[in-house]
Amino acid sequence: MAPAMPRVILARHGETEWSISGQHTGRSDIPLTKHGEDVMRQLAPTFVSCDGSKMVDPRHISHILCSPRRRSQRTLELMMSHLTQDERNQIVPVETVQDCREWDYGAYEGLKTHEIREKHPGWDIWTEGTPDNPDKPQELPGESAEEMTARVDRVIAKIRTLQKAVIEGKTAELHDEAVTKRGGDVMVVAHGHFNRCFIARWLNLPLTLGRLFEVDAGGVAILCYAHGSFDEPTIAGIFSSKTGPRSSATVVGAAQHVKAAHEEHQYLSLVSRAISDGEMRPDRTGTGTLSLFAPQPSLSFSLRNGTLPLLTTKRVFLRGVLEELLWFVAGKTDSKLLTDRGVHIWDGNGSKEFLESRGLGHRREGDLGPVYGFQWRHFGAEYTDCDADYTGKGVDQLAEVIDKIKNNPTDRRIIMSAWNPKDLPQMALPPCHMFCQFYVSLPTATVNSNKTGRPELSCHMYQRSCDLGLGVPFNIASYALLTHMIAHVTGCEAKELTLAMGDAHVYRDHVEPLKVQLTREPKDFPKLNFKRTVTDIDGFKPEDFEVLGYSPHPKIDMKMSV
């Protein structure tokens, strides 16, 4: 039987203050944050063990190559810290390899990408590299893309020489006792740009395509070979410290499959990316944000079997979500109706001071103008104030959505929009979640995975402005509830909610609270039960909704920017 093909375990150091802020960190030896250390301690036992039950068995690693930077060395220490002393004694000595250091950023050391591009528009590290620091060229040299390619290739060449000797049965020629005894698995502990370059070159791709691979702080990539051939290098999996595996491929040599990540990890990963890689931007509220544009992939949540994707890493104000949604469905625009029911999420935008700042001081307090509910139920009607009767006026988009789902379910125009350019100046706040489309999967012999035999309803929502700390958890729950409600009154089963984003951002004063949330492990999503049969979308009452099994982590306070 042919021996298993050897692997490379490619790890990136854990979180640092500069990885959070997005500052380029080459030769500056920034330590791991406390959170970064805690994450590595929690992560290590899930993929490193000496009993063959996890993805990485240190006893089978013949060489450990580590960057000279302390942040990488400390990460390696933490990855092995849960092992017993006897187990640690079986690990090969660590080799500090200068070629495994991070890209030398030179003059750009400590700067963020947008700061560099302010001085050098269009700068692209993958093609232009970095210049020397003019004041400290010896201490902070830059590095071209060609130079980076050369040193990454040297590391790969060394590894391939070792691994080929194992497979070809020529280990004796290496005079390498560790390889002879342990096989050819190699661990490399390095940095973000280095690892992305390494993956590209491992696959025999140009360095520029390293931009396609993301290995976040504390993440691990498993690289190997397909079909038992050194001519077919491949990626077995990229594993995030925040979201779990990014590939469904089975990791060669692993003793068990990696458990699929909880859907909430999608949200947590996006928050982490915004904090670490987001562009620092001013905003309307004056708070400032860390922003990503059109982040991919979109967030997707299963709604099957009554599942309600109510985030569990903090308590979401479910009653507020429900009251606001029923307020939307009723076509209301008076925030005082919510205030009277103990829901204060619109108080700031409905205050007299805020309305005056928007040029709407002629309105009474609480009159938000033709916002969400008005557009859903009276699109195109002339808005006067929140107390007027708009019955029969404008286009009732929600009613049309329901009618099409019932009578023309394959229609590609089952759409509802809250974005009405004509009415934007009259709104206290233009809609953030602005557009949704519904899709009905019809039950057939080949396409239907629910047990009821009913059609399945999915919703795709686009949100132009996404407050990741406060707004998005609310919006996920709200559109999930809306999809369940529409499915209920149309005789469908709710299937899936997908959320696509434009400007996804973390407010600067939410960073620290969100870091707390990122340390928490998601729990099972709750289930939604309707306590009675409702046939009319306008017939729902708060007491009709029963949410079962919601046991989240404690509430995390965050200030709303108005």
Q: Count CB-CB contacts under 10 A for residue 507.
A: 24
Beta bridge partners of 290: 280, 506
Residue with tokens 């049309």: 400
Give yes or no: 102 in active site.
yes
Instruction: List the catalytic residue out of 35, 115, 214, 432.
Output: 432
Comparing CA positions, the residue from 24, 277, 32 lying closest to residue 142 is 24
554 cis-preceded (ω within 30 degrees of 0)? no
- Three-state SS for 443? coil
**Under 8 Å between Cβ of 390 and 380:** no
Give yes or no: 13 in active site.
yes
Q: What is the DSSP string of 46-77?
A: HHB-SSS-SSB-GGGEEEEEE-SSHHHHHHHH
Helices and strands (DSSP H and E) totals, the chain? 18, 16
**Under 8 Å between Cβ of 411 and 404:** yes
Q: Count CB-CB contacts under 10 A for residue 555.
A: 10
Comparing CA positions, the residue from 160, 221, 171, 169 lying closest to residue 191 is 221
383 is in an annotated binding site: no
Length of the chain: 562
C-alpha to C-alpha distance for 334 and 388, rounded to whole angstroms: 11
529-535: long-range contacts at Cβ-Cβ below 8 A with a sequence spacing of 24 or more?
A: 529/306, 530/484, 530/488, 534/485, 534/488, 534/489, 535/489
71 is in an annotated binding site: yes
**Under 8 Å between Cβ of 216 and 241:** yes
103 is in an annotated binding site: yes
**Under 8 Å between Cβ of 156 and 198:** yes
Beta bridge partners of 189: 11, 66
Instruction: List the catalytic residue out of 15, 102, 143, 496.
Output: 102
Comparing CA positions, the residue from 280, 297, 261 lying closest to residue 20 is 280
C-alpha to C-alpha distance for 338 and 468, rounded to whole angstroms: 23
Q: Categorise residue 108: left if φ over 0, alpha if ψ from -120 to 50, beta otherwise.
A: alpha
Q: What is the DSSP string of 475-538?
A: HHHHHHHHHHHHHHHHT-EEEEEEEEEEEEEEEGGGHHHHHHHHTSPP----EEEESS---SGG
Give yes or no: 432 in active site.
yes
437 Cβ contact partners less than 8 Å away, ≥ 6 residues apart: 414, 415, 416, 459, 460
Q: Count CB-CB contacts under 10 A for residue 281.
A: 12
C-alpha to C-alpha distance for 97 and 190, rounded to whole angstroms: 10
**Under 8 Å between Cβ of 142 and 133:** yes
**Under 8 Å between Cβ of 160 and 152:** no
Beta bridge partners of 293: 503
Relative to beta strand 456-467, strand 493-507 is parallel
Query: In this structure, what are the phi and psi dihedrals at residue 28, rounded to the nearest 5 degrees?
Result: -65, 125
149 is in an annotated binding site: no
25 is in an annotated binding site: yes
**Which residues are known catalytic residues?**
13, 102, 432
Residue ranges at the known binding site = 25-26, 71, 102-105
Residue ranges at the known binding site for substrate = 25-26, 71, 102-105
